[in-house]
Amino acid sequence: MRQPDRPATSAPVAPAPPVPAPSPPSDPPRTDGSLAALLREWLPRQRWFAGKDRPIDELSIGTATELLPGEPGLRHLVLDVRQGGDLDHYQVLLGVRRHLPDRLRSGEIGRVAGGGAAGHVYDAAYDPELTRLLLAAMADGATAGPLRFRHAPGSSIDPTLGGLPLSAEQSNTSIIFGADHICKLFRRLSPGVSPDLEVNLALSRQGSAHVPAVHGWIELEPGDGGEPMTLALLSEYLRSASDGWQLALTSVRDWFAHPLPPGPVTAEDAGGAGGDFAGEAERLGAATAAVHRDLAAAFGTTEVPACEIRELAASMRRQLDDVAGTVPELAPYAGAIGATFDELAATAGPLPFQRVHGDYHLGQVLRTDTGWMLLDFEGEPARTATERRASSHPLRDVAGMLRSFEYAARFLLAGEENVPPETARGLEARAHAWAARNRAAFCRGYAEAGGADPERYTVLMRALEFDKAVYEIRYEARNRPSWLPVPLRSLAHLASE
> SS3 letters for the chain?
CCCCCCCCCCCCCCCCCECCCCCCCCCCCECCCCHHHHHHHHHHHCCCCCCCCCCCCEEEEEEEEEEECCCCEEEEEEEEEEECCEEEEEEEEEEEECCCCHHHHHHEEEEECCCCCCEEEEEHHHCHHHHHHHHHHHHHCCEECCEEEEECCCCCCCCCCCEEEECCCCCCEEEEECCCEEEEECCEECCCCCHHHHHHHHHHHCCCCCCCCEEEEEEECCCCCCCCEEEEEEEECCCCCEEHHHHHHHHHHHHHHCCCCCCCCCHHHHCCCCCCCHHHHHHHHHHHHHHHHHHHHHHCEEEECHHHHHHHHHHHHHHHHHHHHHCHHHHHHHHHHHHHHHHHHHCCCCEEEECCCCCCCHHHEEEECCEEEECCCCCCCCCCHHHHHCCECCHHHHHHHHHHHHHHHHHCCCCCCCCCHHHHHHHHHHHHHHHHHHHHHHHHHHHHCCCCCHHHCHHHHHHHHHHHHHHHHHHHHHHCHHHCHHHHHHHHHHHHC
Angstrom distances, CA of residue 373 to CA of 213, 288, 299, 447: 11, 9, 20, 18
pLDDT for position 26: 44
The answer to whether 183 and 175 have CB atoms below 8 angstroms apart is yes
pLDDT for position 381: 74
Angle between the N-to-C axes of helices 306-326 and 458-479, in degrees from 0 to 180, rounded to the nearest 10? 30
Round to whole Å and give the CA distance between 131 and 122: 13
Count of CB atoms within 10 A of residue 87's CB? Answer: 11
pLDDT for position 475: 87
pTM of this structure:
0.83
pLDDT for position 410: 92
Instruction: Please write the tens of the pLDDT for every residue from 406-419.
Output: 999 999 887 666 77
pLDDT for position 154: 83
Residues of the chain with pLDDT under 70: 1-33, 114-117, 168-169, 415-417
The answer to whether 388 and 378 have CB atoms below 8 angstroms apart is yes
Instruction: Please write the tens of the pLDDT for every residue from 222-235.
Output: 877 788 999 999 99
Give phi and psi for 21, each to the nearest 5: -165, 160
Round to whole Å and give the CA distance between 174 and 167: 9
Q: Which residues contact 357 (CB under 8 A, 6 or more apart)?
A: 291, 364, 374, 376, 377, 379, 397, 400
